[in-house]
Amino acid sequence: MDRDEMILISVDDHIVEPPDMFVNHLPKKYQDEAPRLVHQDDGSDMWKFRETVIPNVALNAVAGRPKEEYGLEPQGLDEIRPGCYDVNERVKDMNAGGILASMNFPSFPGFAARLFATEDSDFSLALVRAYNDWHIDEWCAAHPGRFIPMALPVIWDPQLCAQEVRRVAGKGCHSLTFSENPAAMGYPSFHSDHWDPLWQALVDTGTILNVHIGSSGRLSIPAVDSPPDVMITLQPMNIVQAAADLLWSRVIKQYPDIKIALSEGGTGWIPYFMERVDRTFEMHATWTLQDFGGKLPSEVFREHFLTCFISDPLGVRLRHDIGIDNICWEADYPHSDSMWPGAPEELHTVLERCQVPDNEINKMTHQNAMRWYNFDPFTHIPREQATVGALRKAAEGHDVSIQSRSHRIVPPEKKLEAFHSPATWGAAPTR
């Protein structure tokens, strides 16, 4: 397949929320208490919610910047591409990057909306609903067919969470972001029956549970003084525990229609993982009392789990060991793992080297995403206008040049110092 003929849907990108997002959706009685964006004297921006400060408003939103400016920057909205927080500019960036559609994870509330869990459940619920309504009715609805809507959970109450899943499903949203390790956040684990109302709502509405790496606020850092390279290297490994927890849990057995996405987890590790779970089952099921109804754990994994990759040549080569119907592509815009706007070139090179036939390319680049997320962009956009080549033609003249956007140049040693500072990460984890 020619590069320009590909159709790309990314199942993992990110939003840097705009400062006015709550204006149209939060009840008036709560407006004065809403999270607000505060511009600092040093030029940085931060989100403030009651006593909690999220200092890195645009953490790692480095798309379009030279690698010398990678790190924990940028610190302000004026240091990032407008496409990070302006939906109209985002679509222009998507066009320039040859991306038809995108699913966008949140930033400042955390992937599981832990920031919104206050002692006032009604206020907390209003915040989650306001965010979800903004995301679905403003961000996604601004350009039909270009975004897969995703909802925040009501993480502190499984009954309310189930109600919210049903509510947003009525608005066409069949994707829920969630923690990959709720126990690490102080909530019951996946092995508890605490979450049963949520599992039932997901099944009833055909909604996918998306567990993103780091969504509990914990990443795999062996020591507090380890270099950032360790965290970056091990980020995908963060999702392995979630995959094992969920695969061996009662959830899979009692809710056989449940679907789970391992977001930003990569794919190269999965063939070994499936060999390992089958070996574990073979050697230990007699005393651990695991029963998958006559199936192997690897077979059950393929029935329930969606895996995602950015480039991952090893995973593409081993695609049939993973399951060709269980793989989706992701761009990770605007974070530093993203190759925007050159993602089609990188992806096409991998696909060519791995000699992937056209029908399998189509599955991994868009068809699997459409099927898993009950999403059909072609009801809004003709297929011939949805290809990499057509979208880039529509974006002619849009500036995608690499530009320095930092207000100040921070030397590497200062970046490392900031990385290890508790003040950098604030009172609540960014993710």
Instruction: Assess if CATH 3.40.50.300 describes domain 3-425.
Output: no
Predicted pLDDT of residue 210: 98
Domain boundaries, the chain: 3-425
pTM of the model: 0.93
Predicted pLDDT of residue 408: 67
- What does the pLDDT profile of the chain (431 residues) look like in tens digits? 999 999 999 999 999 999 999 999 999 999 999 999 998 887 788 999 998 988 777 778 889 988 887 776 667 898 899 999 999 999 999 999 999 999 999 999 999 999 999 999 999 999 999 999 999 999 999 999 999 999 999 999 999 999 999 999 999 999 999 999 999 899 999 999 999 999 999 999 999 999 998 887 665 555 567 787 887 787 777 799 999 999 999 999 999 999 999 999 999 999 999 999 999 999 999 999 999 999 999 999 999 999 999 989 999 999 999 999 999 999 999 998 899 999 999 999 999 999 999 999 999 999 999 999 999 999 999 999 999 999 999 999 999 999 888 776 677 777 677 666 665 544 443 33
Predicted pLDDT of residue 431: 39
Q: Give CA–CA dist 339/201, Å, rounded.
A: 36
Q: Give CA–CA dist 266/248, Å, rounded.
A: 20
Predicted pLDDT of residue 225: 73
